[in-house]
Structure 1
Amino acid sequence: MSFVGTLLLLAWPAIVENFLQSMVGFADSLFISKLGLTEVAAVGVTNAILQIYFAVFMSVATAAAVFISRSSGEQDKEKSKVIVTHALLLTLCIGIIFGFLSFFFASDLLSLMGASAAVVDVGSSYFRIIAIPSIFIALVFTIGAILRGTGDTKTPLRAGLWMNLIHIVLDYILIFGFFFEGFGLTGAAIATVLSRMIGVGLLFRGMNRKKLLPPLKLRFWSIQTDLLYRMVRLGTPAMLERLFMRTGQILYFGMIIRMGTDIYAAHTLTGNFTLFSTIVGTGLGVATTTLIGQSIGLGKLDDVKRYGRIATGVTSLVMTVVLFIVWMCSFGAAAWFTTSPEVIHLIIAVLLIDLVAQPATGLVTSLTAILQAGGDTKFPMYVTWFGIWAIRTFGVYLFGVYFGWGLIGAWCAIALDNYIRAGMLYWRYRSFRWVQSI
């Protein structure tokens, strides 16, 4: 099979999995919106805090995926099992730490995010139920990454399908009741935790079926501090990259909010439309990381170069085509979300700007995955920090606020950031210094 065929074959389960998660998020928001605005705000603030948690958990998952993809390429099963052991131990430790933080500081964290007293009162119990068992959130990320790193993207998809289906059913039953009185927001939290626990169980079963779970023998479970250090060293820049992205978003989102309610609504709705190309790009990025990592493990550097060229081209092309279809549909679909002609016009105009930027966005997505697979997680971190803070955030202020171009100016800044970051990442990619020992 050609590399393009292999890439797409590995990517489609990850794409479907991400799409299902987005749909579950939509259903969750719909159910909770029936409870009241305070509950909606509590969930919104909680999710904002959890994004920071996710950044840490995903950094462990990134390290696990890179290490396991290389050992899979080397076809060293014993080494793979040792990597699985250490990835799980690291995940458990981090999950426990964040669970304790959530137990003791739930109200403080919500207040720190600017939540009102009413939102803190309602949200603190919801946050505790969701975040104290952070182990399960972290394990979903790590085990999914381990399986994808071996080239198995279907098992996480199946687990995600059942997890999300159970989540929606339990959500409705526990929020609104079924032959009993519903538990409201508490029910939503319990549904989320139970579905994650089931998802972890299914993922563990998938690892066991693939014989990735190491037996209870000392050589697999004795802690190798050097390996743990190398995993943390590789994962930390990936974590910081996501944190730079999130904190930068908070800053420029604040500028857009001050432009007016209609403008911020148009920005938010545009984000819902662009989600489709993002989901596709993320799935292709997962597949790219796996294939590049396995090729490096096999020592086939010529294949690494060829696969890298193909992956960047395919990702940019597919993401651009997907967003073009979305933009064409937006002429009619935007009216499903708002009746305001001004907001509809803004959505269509901003989507066109993002369509022009989409080839660069595809390059950023694929090149970041390639560099991380090569063990170079620091350069994407530096590029994200520079792009989000020096280009995007400053550009939103300059074009959107100072020059008065509003949302059009803000998205021009986002497009400029993507092209500059794509250029910097491509320069690093061409140097081939990103293939590093881990």
Structure 2
Amino acid sequence: MVKEKNKFTLWLLAWPIFVELLLQLLLGAVDTLMVSRVSDDAVAVVGLSNQLFQSMMILFMTVASGAGILIAQKIGAKQNESARTVAIMAVTVSAVIGSVLSVILYMEARPLANLFHLEERLLPLAETYISIVGSGMVLTALTAALSTVIRNTGNTKGPMITAIGMNVVHIVFNYGFIYGELGFPQLGLTGVAISTLVSRLLATCLLLFMFVSAFERRMEWRDLIVFNRKLFGDILKIGWPLGVNMSSWVLTQLTIYTFLATMGAKELAARTYMNTLESICFMLGYSIALAVQIQIAHLYGAGNIKEAYKSGYRGTWIGLGLVGFNSIILFLIGKSFLGFFTSDADIIKLGLSCLVLTLILQPGRMLNMGFGNALSAVGDTRYNMIISLFSMWGVAAGLSYVLGLHMGWGLAGIYVAMICDEYLRGILVVIRWRQQKYLRRAEARDKSAAVSGSSEAAGMGMHA
């Protein structure tokens, strides 16, 4: 009992998540840094292509995210077999969806690249990158599902170890393919795509090894056909609003990147560089938010309602402190960081113009993420979906067009729109968490079950 309780403390959950996410981010940063040695055009292509991949990932992340929350709740409620069944379905369904997406991305790379109104010279690069990296979407689906499942059992170190290995392999292969070193052919952006594919394959193999023994009863080949309609319904009940929420975010980001592409390749490259720097700044806060979600889901499943409520505040305040500090550091050293990625004075100038706005943006993002994840942990995912649809499209995308394109504010206008979106959603989720709607409902249900159990026990005693 003590071991299980300690496994779900905020610190033990958060630090491996932070290391894992940081290393995954470094994977992207190394990509950006090394690709920048090819050309700024290549950087723009990678940035836009990754937005496309993220939009498609929603299809399997809907299942994985809903399953992750349900697994933590079931483990908290001591229903380990149900948690195991949920995990199996999450992995198998994600693999099927990922396989379909792999075929589509490989076969339709050029038409998909044309959707984003890229400059003509960028289209061949985009087609190559999308077809190679996209063909491995099944690996992305498996790593996402496996990491989510393993992490929500309380084992956050496993995905962290995988991230370390994935980064080492990716950096070595990137170096070899881009510069023609270590016996590798010099393949430029094509080599980066191949490197991404190989590192994900190895990560999938390692995560599958961990998945086999993630639960009390080991996985077997025959488990691949396990399907429980009721539990899958529970996954979708939690997951589909999360999927719509994630879809809304990714599609609005794609829309915003399309606006940037209209502005020009320099604006697109500057946003890609700034996105990398902002992600580094936000990573500690994001790891806290994910850990809080796992902890609250576990507490909620165990019936510790008051502690679950307090955990939402505690985690978010810690995250706000960390993100605020990191934002100040980023502001102070932003120019030096941008200089690592590009020597283009115009791109650096565009990035620097957004540093103050980034300082304002990050706390709002943490507020939204912290309490938003707390709501998701107790199953209150529809509320997040509704406010996201309104705010992301009406504020983030809508204001980006008005300020960035129509009024000519450019990249700065897009940042102002994102700030308004994050703070609006942040305020709304704080209000919702304070209302404790789902927590009070669970508390009432537990009390009712306790009274019913006492009545049955008394009746059996009288009968005896």
Band of TM-score, shorter chain = 0.7 to 0.9
Unaligned runs of 5+ in 2: 443-464
Is residue 2:316 matched to residue 1:312? yes
**Any idea what the Cα deviations from partners look like across 1:80-129, whole Å, max 9, x if unmatched?**
21111111121122112212322432332223333567655555454333
The corresponding residue for 1:391 is 395
Contact kept in structure 2, 1:10 and 1:287, CA below 8 Å: yes
Could you tell me how far apart the structure 2 residues matched to 1:133 and 1:264 are? 25
The 5 A counterparts of 1:164-183 are 164-175=167-178, 176=180, 178-179=182-183, 181-183=185-187
Structure-to-structure mapping, 1:396-411, within 5 angstroms: 396-400=400-404, 407-411=411-415
Are 1:295 and 2:323 an aligned pair? no
The letter of the residue matching 2:244 is L
1:15 aligns with 2:21: no
CA distance in 2 between counterparts of 1:342 and 1:181 reads 33
Question: Hey, what does 1:236 align to over in structure 2?
Answer: 240
**Higher CA-based Rg:** 2
Which of 59, 62, 67 aligns to 2:65? It is: 62
Q: Which residue identity lines up with residue 83 of structure 1 in the other structure?
A: V
Match of 1:189 in 2: 193
* Pairwise CA distance, 1:55: 2.4
Picking from 419, 436, 439, the partner of 1:432 is 436
Q: Give me the whole-angstrom Cα distance separating, in 1, the residues matched to 2:391 and 2:328.
A: 25
Q: Is the 8 A contact 1:21 1:164 kept in 2?
A: yes
For normalisation by structure 2, the TM-score amounts to: 0.82
CA offset at residue 318 of structure 1? 1.7
Q: Alpha-carbon deviation of 1:411?
A: 2.9
Contact conserved, 2:212 with 2:219, CA < 8 A, in 1? no
- Check whether the contact 1:82–1:220 (CA below 8 A) recurs between aligned residues: no
Q: Corresponding residue for 2:250? A: 246
SS in 1 for 2:117: coil
- Structure-2 residue corresponding to 1:366: 370
1:159-178 Cα shifts (integer Å, max 9, x gaps):
11001111111233345253
**What is the RMSD of the two structures over their aligned residues, measured on CA atoms?**
3.4
Could you tell me which amino acid in structure 2 is paired with residue 190 of structure 1? I
Give 3-state SS (helix, strand or coil) of 1:113's partner. Answer: coil
| Within-5 A mapping of 1:193-272 | 193-211=197-215, 214-216=218-220, 221-255=225-259, 267-272=271-276
Deviation at 1:410, TM superposition (A): 3.8
CA distance in 2 between counterparts of 1:87 and 1:132 reads 21
2:73 is the alignment partner of 1:51: no
Pairing 1:133–2:136 present: yes
- Which AA in structure 1 matches 2:226? S
Question: Deviation of residue 369 (structure 1)?
Answer: 0.9
TM-score by length of 1: 0.86
CA distance in 2, matches of 1:265, 1:189: 18
Q: Structure 1 residues 421 and 136 mapped into 2: Cα distance closer, same or farther (>3 Å)? A: same
Alignment of 1:380 with 2:384, yes or no, is: yes
- In structure 1, how many angstroms separate the alpha carbons of the residues matched to 2:347 and 2:107? 43
Name the CA distance, whole Å, in 2 between partners of 1:39 and 1:258. 17
Structure 2 vs 1, CA of residues 214 and 101 (structure 1 numbering), >3 Å: closer, same or farther?
farther
**In 1: Cα distance, 2:360 partner to 2:267 partner:** 21
Asked if the contact 2:30–2:171 (Cα under 8 Å) also holds between the matched residues in 1, the reply is yes
Where does the alignment leave 5 or more consecutive residues of structure 1 unmatched? none
- Inter-partner Cα distance in structure 2 for 1:352 and 1:28: 26
CA deviations over 1:194-213 (Å, ceiling 9, x no partner): 21121112112223344467
Q: 1:345 offset after TM fit, Å? A: 7.2
State the AA in 1 paired with 2:360. Answer: V
Q: CA deviation at 1:422?
A: 1.1
- Mapped contact 1:102–1:132 kept (Cα < 8 A): yes
